[in-house]
């Protein structure tokens, strides 16, 4: 595999895990625009643990994910006091505070960034991305996943039906924190260098867009969104600003034509084999 | 009235402006008394920066208050004004205008921002509302506006490059008040920002279109039942948004003399911070928040160094959101609806 392709694949794997981290909360109806902040914490934690503290790679990745899970858990309580536009703003503020803090802290290299001496290979990333993807499909099939979907569709109705909305949302934030932290840890250990400027507001915006454009109804959504936005531009070799211009136009068009995302539950049920091979069913719809 | 918003009620009590003016004067006086000229100078430049944040924050708060829509294109409208003006000047299209060319350029820039804002309205709001019912139910307008943010920024990047450009303004005069140097452009800018926001308050409170906007802010369906033509009033919000962002962009360009495709990013995020501090949906909140953020920025640079700005401002915002989610002057009902 060429170095170029390996680089693209590495970024794809990291973005996919990152996108699933944002997806978990979005699937439960919460929009997290502070993704870069969570990812930065994971990246810096893993980098510092593996570098300065001398922990083995696996331990530092696990610890980093645990730390961001804890951050997600803690941040969920103030964040869940807010709703709608306010939650977008609160999570956005969180991301900015984290980036500002890391930029200002000398232990982590400040504006100079931090070199991470240890390295994980591409196969670890691919394995992790595959594992996370399968885990999310499993999660969406469990009672918790069902509860998340219910809250997203109608919060009041799910309360009436006995869903513990608060617990589900806190769980979603915790899982989301762990996954975004994991993506950050893998980023740090694969690229060998982290700098606070990378984890900016635009990164949070882009990853949220992967998820919302892909679709929040099923676990296929982030996969579709990430493939669509990280692999396609590479395949067509569109570079620089033109690439982002097309990205923007696609977003506006998608919202106009298919506002629930690329993959919806309706699409999946239409494509499912049971439906296709059912007698007469395929013609019926 | 449980759903009422500050814009809807438009309680522009006399108290609020008086408090704002008194607080400002007290802060300047305290600055001079405690910190001497250096601090006083920082306070003055903080207030100038604050007046620009304030204008942009009012644009944000207006769209959220009336339409429950966080419009992420505002920073790019701000930037479009500066870049369009620079493009016209440097391209030599305005030689006929002679010495006033820079003023014409900025005016055209503001018009460009309004036009862009109307384009955004077409694709985020009107079209979606026609197609999917109430667009505010979804995150659709938010995501669409993020799309437009990316489109506008990269269009400008492709057309004009990513470099920061010099926008020369041919006048420069300073006033000396009690030993502090105040630039005349600074004063004019502050005055213009205040005038624009005051005019907006007047429009909202006294005119027919203002009443229509307040009705929509309270409840779009009821407004429509009572004979407000929602489809014709909503573009007004976007025109006002373009106007406010454009004027702020023009003032920024005149005062700092630099334009770049990224000039809106920092101002936009600071204006969001200002809006949240003051309370989403409240115009007086946006004004107070803008001034506070401007002051916090210049003073934290003075005391803690340049890197500390983001920490100070956003830390303040996070504390406010956690302790008092409705902001300093806000009304709890805003932004509570499902996205």
pLDDT tens per residue, range B272-329: 888 888 887 788 888 888 888 888 888 888 777 766 777 788 888 878 777 777 777 6
Domain presence at residue A11: yes
Beta carbons of A151 and A42 less than 8 angstroms apart: no
- d(CA B316, nearest CA chain A) in Å: 9
Assess A262–B contact: CB distance below 8 Å, yes or no: no
Q: Which of B130, B279, B314, B332 to probe the A interface (max A CBs under 10 A)?
A: B314
Query: Which of A75-79, B96-100, B189-193 comes out lowest in average pLDDT?
Result: B96-100
| Residues from chain A contacting residue B269 (CB–CB below 8 Å) | 96, 201
User: Is residue A231 exposed (0-12), middle (13-18) or buried (19+ Cβ within 10 Å)?
Assistant: middle
Domain presence at residue A119: yes
For the segment B32-81, what is each residue's pLDDT rounded down to a tens digit? Answer: 666 666 777 777 788 888 889 989 999 998 888 888 788 889 999 999 99
pLDDT greater at residue B9 or residue A244: A244
Nearest Cα residue to B24 out of B190, B173, B181: B190
Domain presence at residue A209: no
Nearest Cα residue to A63 out of A189, A168, A200: A189
> Which ipTM value was assigned to this complex?
0.80
Q: A238: pLDDT confidence band, cut at 50, 70 and 90?
A: low
Structural element, H or E, at residue B256? helix B230-256
- Measured distance CA(A248)–CA(B153) in Å, rounded: 10
CB–CB contact B336 A83 (8 Å): yes
- Six token digits for residue A35: 């993704």
Beta carbons of A222 and A211 less than 8 angstroms apart: yes
Domain presence at residue A221: no
Using the 8-state DSSP alphabet, how is residue A233 labeled?
H
Domain presence at residue A46: yes
Range from A125-129, A250-254, B3-7, B185-189 that averages highest in pLDDT: A125-129
pLDDT of residue B278: 83
- Average pLDDT of the residues in B112-130: 82
Of A94, A244, A255, the CB nearest to B318: A94
Of B70, B150, B322, the CB nearest to A85: B70
Beta carbons of B197 and B16 less than 8 angstroms apart: no
Assess A90–B contact: CB distance below 8 Å, yes or no: yes
CB–CB contact B336 A89 (8 Å): no
Domain presence at residue A229: no
- Measured distance CA(A87)–CA(A78) in Å, rounded: 10
Beta carbons of A203 and A10 less than 8 angstroms apart: no
Which residues 191-230 of chain A have a CB within 8 Å of chain B? 201, 205, 208-209, 212-213
Range from A64-68, A192-196, A241-245, B124-128 that averages highest in pLDDT: A64-68
- Six token digits for residue A195: 């700098």
Report the 10 Å Cβ neighbour count for B230: 15
Of A84, A103, A248, the CB nearest to B154: A248
Domain presence at residue A250: no
- Measured distance CA(B50)–CA(B286) in Å, rounded: 10
- Average pLDDT of the residues in B83-109: 81
Q: Where are the alpha helices (DSSP H) in chain A?
A: 3-27, 35-51, 57-80, 84-104, 122-141, 143-153, 155-160, 165-191, 201-214, 220-226, 232-236, 240-257, 265-271, 273-277, 281-284
What is the total count of domains within chain A? 1
User: Is residue B8 exposed (0-12), middle (13-18) or buried (19+ Cβ within 10 Å)?
Assistant: buried
Domains belonging to chain B, first-starting first, are 6-323 (1.10.3470)
| Residues from chain A contacting residue B321 (CB–CB below 8 Å) | 78, 82, 86, 89-90, 93
CB–CB contact B336 A249 (8 Å): no
| Residues from chain B contacting residue A111 (CB–CB below 8 Å) | 307
The torsion angle over the Cα atoms of residues A230, A234, A238 and A240, rounded to 10 degrees, is 60
Q: What is the mean pLDDT of chain B?
A: 78
pLDDT of residue B49: 87
For the segment A125-136, what is each residue's pLDDT rounded down to a tens digit? Answer: 999 999 999 999
Domain presence at residue A171: yes
Residue of chain A nearest B148, judged by CA positions: A248
For the segment A269-281, what is each residue's pLDDT rounded down to a tens digit? Answer: 777 766 656 554 4
| Residues from chain B contacting residue A100 (CB–CB below 8 Å) | 307-311, 314-315
pLDDT of residue B173: 64
- Measured distance CA(A47)–CA(A54) in Å, rounded: 10
Residue span of the structural domain in which A167 resides: 3-201
| Residues from chain B contacting residue A31 (CB–CB below 8 Å) | 139, 339
Task: Please state, in angstroms and as integers, the Cα–Cα distance from residue B23 to each residue in A122, B29, B207, following that order.
Answer: 58, 10, 30
SS (H, E, C) A81-122: CCCHHHHHHHHHHHHHHHHHHHHHCHHHCHHHCEECCCCCCH
Q: Exposure pattern of B11-20 as b/e (b: 16+ CB <10 Å)? A: ebeeebeeee
Assess A96–B contact: CB distance below 8 Å, yes or no: yes
Half-sphere exposure of B102 (CA within 13 A, CB side): 13
């Amino acid at each position: 595999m060429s170095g170029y392709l390996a680089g693209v694949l590495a970024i794809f794997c990291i973005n996919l895990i990152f996108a699933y981290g944002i997806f978990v909360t979005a699937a439960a109806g919460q929009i997290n625009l502070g993704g870069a902040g969570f990812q930065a914490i994971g990246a810096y934690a893993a980098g510092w643990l593996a570098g300065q503290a001398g922990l083995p790679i696996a331990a530092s990745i696990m610890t980093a994910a645990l730390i961001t899970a804890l951050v997600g858990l803690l941040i969920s309580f103030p964040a869940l006091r807010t709703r709608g536009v306010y939650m977008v703003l609160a999570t956005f503020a969180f991301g900015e505070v984290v980036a500002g803090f890391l930029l200002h802290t000398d232990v982590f290299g400040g504006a100079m960034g931090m070199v991470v001496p240890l390295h994980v290979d591409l196969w670890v990333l691919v394995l992790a991305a595959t594992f996370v993807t399968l885990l999310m499909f499993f999660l969406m099939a469990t009672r918790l996943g069902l509860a998340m979907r219910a809250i997203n569709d109608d919060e009041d109705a799910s309360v009436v039906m006995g869903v513990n909305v608060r617990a589900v949302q806190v769980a979603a934030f915790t899982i989301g924190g762990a996954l975004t932290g994991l993506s950050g840890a893998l980023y740090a250990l694969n690229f060998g260098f982290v700098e606070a400027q990378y984890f900016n507001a635009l990164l949070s915006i882009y990853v949220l867009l992967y998820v919302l454009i892909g679709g929040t109804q099923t676990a296929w959504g982030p996969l579709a969104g990430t493939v669509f936005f990280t692999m396609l531009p590479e395949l067509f070799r569109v570079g620089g600003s033109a690439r982002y211009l097309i990205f923007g136009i696609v977003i506006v068009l998608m919202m106009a034509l298919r506002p629930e995302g690329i993959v919806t539950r309706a699409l999946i049920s239409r494509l499912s084999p049971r439906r296709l091979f059912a007698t007469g069913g395929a013609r019926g719809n | 009235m449980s759903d009422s918003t500050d814009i809807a009620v438009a309680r522009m009590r006399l108290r609020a402006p008086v408090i704002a003016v008194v607080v400002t004067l007290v802060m300047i006086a305290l600055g001079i008394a405690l910190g001497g000229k250096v601090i006083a100078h920082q306070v003055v430049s903080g207030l100038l920066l604050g007046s620009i944040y304030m204008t942009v924050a009012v644009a944000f708060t207006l769209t959220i208050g009336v339409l429950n829509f966080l419009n992420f294109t505002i920073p790019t409208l701000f930037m479009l004004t500066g870049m369009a003006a620079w493009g016209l000047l440097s391209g030599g299209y305005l030689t006929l205008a002679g010495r006033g060319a820079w003023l014409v350029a900025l005016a055209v820039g503001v018009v460009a921002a309004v036009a862009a804002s109307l384009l955004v309205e077409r694709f985020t709001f009107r079209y979606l509302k026609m197609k999917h019912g109430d667009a505010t139910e979804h995150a659709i307008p938010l995501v669409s506006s993020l799309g437009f943010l990316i489109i506008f920024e990269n269009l400008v990047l492709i057309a004009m490059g990513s470099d920061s450009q010099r926008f020369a303004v041919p006048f420069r005069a300073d006033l000396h008040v009690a030993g502090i140097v105040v630039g005349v452009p600074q004063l004019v800018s502050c005055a213009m920002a205040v005038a624009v926001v005051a005019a907006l308050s007047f429009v909202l409170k006294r005119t027919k279109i203002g009443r229509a906007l307040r009705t929509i802010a309270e409840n779009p369906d009821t407004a429509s039942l009572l004979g407000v033509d929602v489809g014709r009033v909503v573009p007004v919000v976007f025109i006002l948004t373009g106007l406010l962002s454009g004027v702020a962009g023009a003032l920024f360009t005149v005062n700092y003399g630099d334009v770049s495709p990224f000039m809106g990013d920092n101002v936009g995020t600071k204006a969001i911070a200002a809006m949240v501090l003051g309370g989403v949906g409240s115009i007086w909140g946006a004004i107070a928040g803008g001034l506070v953020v401007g002051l916090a920025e210049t003073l934290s640079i003075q005391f803690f160094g340049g890197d500390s700005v983001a920490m100070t401002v956003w830390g303040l915002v996070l504390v406010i959101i956690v302790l008092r989610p409705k902001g300093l002057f806000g009304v709890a009902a805003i932004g509570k609806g499902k996205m």
